[in-house]
Structure 1
């Protein structure tokens, strides 16, 4: 059962820091933009927030992916050990493997997510839903649209993240899974995408989409619901003062 929680510690560190940076950048960028349609402003602010937060927290994203990709043979013994090994064997650049795909994915994803959310929220929020879950419903719907649109870059990002001296240890053997892990070193974003299409067809770029939506839709629902209520509480306290 513990294997289902591989990479949870760096994932939790990632979510906390990423969420804080993302919403700080989003509200700041929104306040600085000139008057424009709300959906366009939300797209620009969301894209800027996503790019900023992803760049700042990318090493944690890479560590999460590598720990999750470990099989029965452990590549890294601990979180501190992984930082030490990557720093020694791959240098500082090793912590940013696949960052091009990461930023390329998150910029349109967060842009579409916030644009769709700000479009859905005025329509859905007033509805009489349990626990005031209109914001959550809007967040889930926006996440499904955005995630599906940029998912190929997510696949490329994860395959690039496990590149490096230890890449052949993530999937032991010599089958298709081994090639999927081992053969993308030095190809970059476009090269990796072309190789996936050549070997697996266009469907290869959407491998794991179903489970990705199962994860991202409720996560976005909870995030948006919490964000709106936290923002409301902070504003009420500010007015009270």
Structure 2
């Protein structure tokens, strides 16, 4: 992986790399959109699956697992239901990638100028990654919120279009309406980065000794395992973020009409623990982990081919 990684870094101009990365993100996002919609629907589901009696008062669908949830959405809302929220999500991916890339580069260069007070390289990567992720997350958060709200819509269309959603949220909820749950999203970045790098550095030397791994290299396998651990560790914050994003005047109009009223991160976690137990904080985790592998595979496949095409045509050389 290291040799291949160094080779990739030498290929193409910076502009070609950014364009190829953007194309990879867009296509990858489109392909995994159905899994993302399923994840959001499961994260917003608050009623118990093990207690049939609790279903009697539910006005809305009852989802049980990734496959059946996907089938239910197609049956009740049509195939396009699996791509609800894809437009703001695509915009978010493009803007997020550009901001993260720019911020990471700027912060890294600033840290390199600290002279005798310079941090170890691993610490620089962690600080740069966490700050860049936080900046990109906060800046693109309104698009993330819109992605969730569109994906949470059932057959009743709360928002007719991207422009109308922006207008209605601004009129009904004000500027703060676009940033519901943003604190959970930003706070999620630091522990995610910490867990990822800690797990990655722990797994890498062990897996490097194994030959003929199904993922090709020890680095790739270590990256997948680290991603699973990190995603699992911070998943409750991701779930809380989704619950907070659908608060406001439209809370009872989404496909799940019994979403409780949450007012903050800690209050949300406490309420979920009291009413749904620890398992309630991990609804949708399985599909979240399932979409990581195809997303990475599609991203890399598209990136390599897009970059090769740009090089052959000389575009942005």
TM-score range, shorter chain: 0.7 to 0.9
C-alpha change, 1:15 and 1:131, in structure 2 (3 Å) is same
* C-alpha deviation, 1:129, in angstroms: 7.1
- In structure 1, the partner of 2:280 is 204
Q: 2:250 aligns with which of 140, 151, 166?
A: 166
* Cα distance in 1 between the residues matched to 2:226 and 2:304: 15
Number of corresponding residues: 223
Q: 1:213 aligns with which of 283, 286, 289?
A: 289
- In structure 1, the partner of 2:164 is 81
- In structure 1, the partner of 2:89 is 11
**Gap regions ≥5 residues in structure 2:** 1-78, 112-117, 308-316
* Cα distance in 1 between the residues matched to 2:214 and 2:197: 23
- In structure 1, the partner of 2:99 is 21
Q: 1:154 aligns with which of 235, 238, 247?
A: 238
* Cα distance in 1 between the residues matched to 2:99 and 2:294: 20
RMSD: 3.2
- SS of residue in 2 equivalent to 1:89: helix
* Cα distance in 2 between the residues matched to 1:227 and 1:125: 25
- In structure 2, the partner of 1:104 is 187
* Cα distance in 1 between the residues matched to 2:200 and 2:102: 17
The CA deviation string for residues 179-235 of structure 1, in whole angstroms up to 9 with x for no partner, is 3x2422xx211101100011100110011100111123443566678889999xxxx
- In structure 2, the partner of 1:234 is none
Does the Cα contact within 8 Å between 1:42 and 1:114 map onto a contact in 2? no
- In structure 2, the partner of 1:192 is 268
Higher RCO (C-alpha under 8 Å, 6+ residues apart): 2
Shift >6 Å, 4+ stretches: 121-134, 224-231
* Cα distance in 2 between the residues matched to 1:28 and 1:124: 33
**Gap regions ≥5 residues in structure 1:** 172-176, 232-240
Does the Cα contact within 8 Å between 2:215 and 2:221 map onto a contact in 1? no
Does the Cα contact within 8 Å between 2:149 and 2:246 map onto a contact in 1? yes
